[in-house]
Amino acid sequence: MRFASSVCVLIVALAAALSAAARAAGQDIAFPRDHHPWGHFPVNSWKRVRTTAESLDEKGHVVGSTVTETLTKLVAVDESTYTLQSEATVDVASRRIAAAPQTTRYGYYGETPGKLLTAKHAGDASLTIDGHTIPCELRQVVLTGDSGKLINTIYYSQEFPPFVLRRETSVEGAPEEKRNSTLVEVIALDLPQRVRGELKQASYVKTTQKSPQGSKVTLEVHCDEVPGGVAAHWASETDSAGRVLRRSTLELVDYGLPQLLGQPQPSYIRRPMRAGKAARRMDQR
């Protein structure tokens, strides 16, 4: 057990040293696979979620609803990318429609292949969450999007899941009608959350998307033991006048990991314990 702990400490120290060397050399900084909500799971991990969406009229009455069940499976993963396969069925107007399966490869900054331009160190900062100050590394990540360059400022912590504690995204070079912005912020850490009947540690993440046409606010529950991280969400979309157009909820139906017979317990099972220790260190500050 002590040997395993020493190895973990050595790996973290080595990752920090490599990151510092990349900063000094002005090189692009990779996002650690072990800190990604899909990347730290083995191939064939999966989750099934149910999303209920409602459309509202001008008086706030529900005029349409859909229920979508989505099965997402991790089919490939390496140090720089992961590949997801998703199958969805939609219940709408008493009909069930099965969508064709989709397979998509992503990088760990959220980009699809060829979309990442640069990922650079941009300084150091701190965030205050639950009254506690957390040191963070600032990273500026530039991606190509349909409307122009997506400029992302990321507040990254090596200690506290979900590790990206804040992400600010804006579009550079887009016309006025397409100047969208997104703010993703962790608003609570290390809270108890019941997931599939078991009490687990979770974080609450708020996402605010703004455009000239309106805005969308989503509150997510992130659990480090669930493939993909998200265990639940609640979302509301409004127009430019503040009228609610759509709302949705997401619930985790089930999830699973492949059987690793004859292998030592994988690191992703131990991550909640590490998160708890980190939270206790934060409380002692």
**Mean pLDDT of all residues in 145-162:** 90
Q: How many CB atoms lie within 10 A of CB 128?
A: 8
For 58, other C-beta atoms within 10 Å of its C-beta total 8
pLDDT tens sequence across 183-224 = 999 999 999 999 999 999 999 999 999 999 999 999 999 999
Q: Where are the alpha helices (DSSP H) in 39-191?
A: none
Q: Is the pLDDT of residue 271 over 70?
A: no
Question: What pLDDT is recorded for position 4?
Answer: 38
Q: What is the pLDDT of residue 266?
A: 42
**Half-sphere exposure of residue 196, counting CA atoms within 13 Å on the CB side?**
13
Fold of 31-283: YmcC-like fold (2.40.360)
Average pLDDT (152-156) is: 98
For residues 283 and 32, give the distance between their C-alpha atoms in angstroms, rounded to a whole number.
26
pLDDT at residue 260 in the model: 56
What is the per-residue burial (b if ≥16 Cβ within 10 Å, else e) of 68-101? bebbbbbeebeeebbbbeeebebeeeeeeeeeee
In angstroms, the CA 132 to CA 124 distance is 17
**pLDDT number for residue 283:** 46
Domain ranges for the chain, please list them.
31-283
Higher pLDDT, 135 or 270: 135
76-81: list long-range contacts, CB under 8 Å, 24+ apart: 76/43, 76/105, 77/33, 77/38, 77/39, 77/41, 77/42, 77/43, 78/33, 79/30, 79/33, 80/30, 80/33, 80/107, 80/108, 81/105, 81/106, 81/107, 81/108, 81/113
pLDDT score, position 238: 97
Evaluate if residue 95 carries a pLDDT over 70: yes
Q: Give me the phi and psi of 176, to 5 degrees please.
A: -55, -40
The mean per-residue pLDDT over the stretch 158-166 comes to: 95
For position 26, what pLDDT does the model report? 55
With 60 as the cut, is the pLDDT of residue 1 above it?
Answer: no
Q: pLDDT at position 45, please? A: 97
> In the numeric block, which tokens belong to residue 269?
């099972």
Pairing status of strand 164-172 against strand 181-195: antiparallel
- Find tokens 């509202």 and name the residue: 56
Cis ω before 135 (30° cut-off from 0): no
pLDDT tens, residue by residue, 96-126: 999 999 999 999 999 998 898 999 999 999 9
Q: Of 241, 183, 171, which Cα lies nearest the Cα of 213?
A: 241
Q: CA gyration radius for the chain? A: 20
